[in-house]
């Protein structure tokens, strides 16, 4: 069965063309008398959200009994009202009740247990099977209550290479997007065990994608997905599909694999990853490292250049205690770190990259140097095992031929030409 799709790699979908596609496809979903929830990304995803959300809103608001939009934060920081207004309507001063009458837009309150409900369990044996034997621990599948109780769920979100799951989007908007942090931690740790460099941009059903699909299948109700790809370094939509979360994701994953992975003939000696304003902390801005790591030469340096960032993470203070280390640093000292939230461990090792750790000598050797040129003080950087550069020094360094500058870093993945999949 063909998946309803518009556009493709390099195509520019006009506003009217996109609205017509959304209206036609969502119009086929029976919404009359049903409660609908839209699941949307937070503002760390680069896309023209006001344009997209308005098109979807117009196609549903006069048909469904009720409509609500839930921001699939995962374990990101809750968005403030002015941030939601900017994200959904294009202005911090926007009146969302006037822009989207009858449709509240709310955070996924992952810290509030009362806002989560169990939809099933995944056994330890099944987790072991899905993860390829990397993890054997069962989990309760707890999902946002508003999402679970809605008759119809429509995911609305972009597809991009991703460090944990391979290619983002689809059912990832349920898990981790609208899930409890325990299950999120498990999926992220499996991705960390595989390593970000091996996982990121991997097409198809990766072990983490398999775990996510398993849990998402337990979410009751009708489930659909408007998956799309935004042209790199722009706000132009180049492709979109509407179908089940699995089918729409699979169709758009093919597109992002062509448009958001750049292959380079030789590794970069060093990289300056210039982080856009949509990333508010290192927890999200570390994508600048994830997306460049595979294309940097051994011994090279990746500089996260983000003068606007002043915190590693407010939501996950444990990262200040453990810092940034390679995977084996934790695996070979598991008794010491097993009680640290696994999602924090995963972020740490994703952000530090490949390396080795000798348990007998206590010597850790990382393949690359990670440096912050941000608003985070030097002493904090040193305490979390990363380098420091004064952000004021970076503009001059950008002229150094030994540094490759990645503008708007965090979404396009760089890999070596030798790693390009065979046609």
Compute the average pLDDT of residues 105-127.
94
Across all residues in the chain, what is the average pLDDT?
Answer: 95
Give the model confidence (pLDDT) of 330-365 as tens digits.
Answer: 999 999 999 999 999 999 999 999 999 999 999 999
Residue given tokens 């790199």 in the structure block: 232
pLDDT at 299: 97
277 and 375 fall within a common domain: yes
Compute the average pLDDT of residues 87-108.
96
pLDDT at 350: 96
pLDDT at 119 over 90: yes
For residue 321, give the CATH number of its domain: 3.90.226.30
pLDDT at 423 over 80: no
164 and 280 fall within a common domain: no
pLDDT at 310 over 80: yes
Compute the average pLDDT of residues 86-110.
95
Q: For residue 402, give the DSSP letter.
A: T
Closest listed residue to residue 46, CA positions, set 231, 203, 191: 231
Q: Pick from 239, 259, 279: which residue ends a domain?
A: 259
CA quadruple 110, 288, 322, 211: dihedral sign: positive
Q: Pick from 218, 239, 259: which residue ends a domain?
A: 259
Q: Are 19 and 25 in contact (CB under 8 A)?
A: no
pLDDT at 75: 87
For residue 10, give the CATH number of its domain: 3.40.50.11440
3-state secondary structure of 101: coil
Domain count, the chain: 2
304 and 268 fall within a common domain: yes
The alpha-carbon radius of gyration of the chain (Å, integer) is 21
Residue given tokens 């640290």 in the structure block: 340
179 and 324 fall within a common domain: no
178 and 53 fall within a common domain: yes
Closest listed residue to residue 145, CA positions, set 109, 116, 174: 116
96 and 203 fall within a common domain: yes
Give the model confidence (pLDDT) of 369-408 as tens digits.
Answer: 999 999 999 999 999 999 999 999 999 999 999 999 999 9
204 and 238 fall within a common domain: yes
pLDDT at 1: 65
Enter the pTM of the model. 0.94
350 and 233 fall within a common domain: no
Spacing of C-alpha 179 from chain mean position: 14
* DSSP notation for 157-176: EE--EETTTEE--GGGGTTT
282 and 250 fall within a common domain: no
pLDDT band at 251 (very low <50, low <70, confident <90, very high): very high
pLDDT at 154 over 90: yes
199 and 50 fall within a common domain: yes
pLDDT at 247: 97
273 and 351 fall within a common domain: yes
Q: Are 279 and 306 in contact (CB under 8 A)?
A: yes
Closest listed residue to residue 34, CA positions, set 3, 77, 9, 65: 65
Give the model confidence (pLDDT) of 131-144 as tens digits.
Answer: 999 999 999 999 99
Q: Pick from 259, 282, 304: which residue ends a domain?
A: 259
CA quadruple 10, 234, 172, 330: dihedral sign: positive
Angle at alpha carbon of residue 75, lines to 70 and 76, rounded to 5° = 80
Closest listed residue to residue 366, CA positions, set 323, 415, 312, 419: 323
pLDDT band at 46 (very low <50, low <70, confident <90, very high): confident
pLDDT at 419 over 70: yes
pLDDT at 203 over 80: yes
Compute the average pLDDT of residues 8-31.
96
Compute the average pLDDT of residues 247-275.
97
212 and 77 fall within a common domain: yes
pLDDT at 254 over 90: yes
The contacts of residue 238 (CB under 8 Å, 6+ apart) are 7, 8, 9, 10, 11, 12, 13, 229, 230, 231, 255, 259
Compute the average pLDDT of residues 74-93.
94
Q: Are 412 and 290 in contact (CB under 8 A)?
A: no
pLDDT at 327: 97
pLDDT above 70 covers what percent of the chain?
100
Residue 299: domain span: 262-419
Closest listed residue to residue 6, CA positions, set 262, 257, 246, 248: 248
């Amino acid at each position: 069965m063909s998946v309803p799709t518009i556009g493709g790699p390099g195509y520019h979908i006009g506003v009217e063309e996109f609205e017509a596609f959304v209206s036609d496809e969502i119009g086929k979903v029976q919404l009359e008398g049903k409660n609908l929830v839209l699941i949307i990304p937070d503002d760390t995803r680069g896309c023209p959200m006001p344009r997209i959300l308005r098109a979807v809103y117009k196609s549903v608001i006069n048909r469904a009994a009720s409509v609500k939009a839930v921001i699939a934060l995962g374990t990101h920081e809750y968005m403030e009202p002015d941030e939601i207004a900017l994200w959904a309507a294009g202005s911090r001063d926007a009146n969302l009740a006037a822009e989207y009458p009858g449709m509240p837009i709310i955070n996924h309150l992952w810290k509030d247990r009362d806002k989560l409900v169990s939809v099933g369990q995944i056994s330890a044996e099944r987790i072991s099977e899905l993860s390829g034997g990397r993890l054997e621990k069962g989990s309760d599948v707890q999902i946002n209550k508003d999402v679970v109780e809605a008759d119809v769920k429509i995911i609305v979100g972009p597809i991009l290479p991703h460090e944990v799951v391979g290619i983002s989007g689809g059912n990832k908007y349920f898990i981790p997007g609208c899930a409890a942090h325990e299950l999120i931690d498990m999926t992220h740790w499996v991705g960390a065990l595989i390593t970000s460099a091996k996982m990121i941009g991997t097409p198809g059903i990766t072990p983490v994608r398999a775990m996510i699909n398993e849990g998402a299948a337990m979410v009751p109700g009708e489930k659909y997905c408007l998956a799309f790809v935004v042209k790199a370094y722009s706000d132009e939509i180049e492709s979109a599909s509407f179908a089940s979360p699995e089918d729409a994701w699979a169709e758009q994953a093919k597109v992002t694999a062509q448009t958001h992975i750049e292959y380079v003939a030789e590794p970069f000696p060093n990289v300056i990853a210039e982080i856009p304003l949509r990333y508010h902390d290192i927890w999200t801005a570390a994508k600048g490292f994830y997306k460049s790591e595979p294309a940097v030469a051994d011994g090279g340096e990746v500089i996260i250049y983000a003068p606007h960032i002043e915190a590693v993470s407010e939501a996950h203070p444990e990262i200040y205690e453990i810092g940034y280390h390679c995977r084996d640093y934790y695996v070979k000292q598991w008794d010491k770190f097993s009680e640290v939230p696994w999602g924090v461990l995963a972020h740490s090792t994703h952000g530090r990259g490949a390396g080795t750790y000798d348990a007998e000598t206590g010597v850790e050797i990382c393949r690359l140097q990670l440096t912050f040129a941000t608003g985070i003080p030097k002493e904090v950087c040193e305490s979390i095992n990363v380098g420091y550069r004064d952000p004021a020094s970076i503009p001059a360094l950008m002229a150094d031929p030994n540094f490759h500058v990645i503008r708007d870093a965090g979404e396009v993945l760089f890999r070596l030409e030798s790693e390009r999949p065979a046609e």
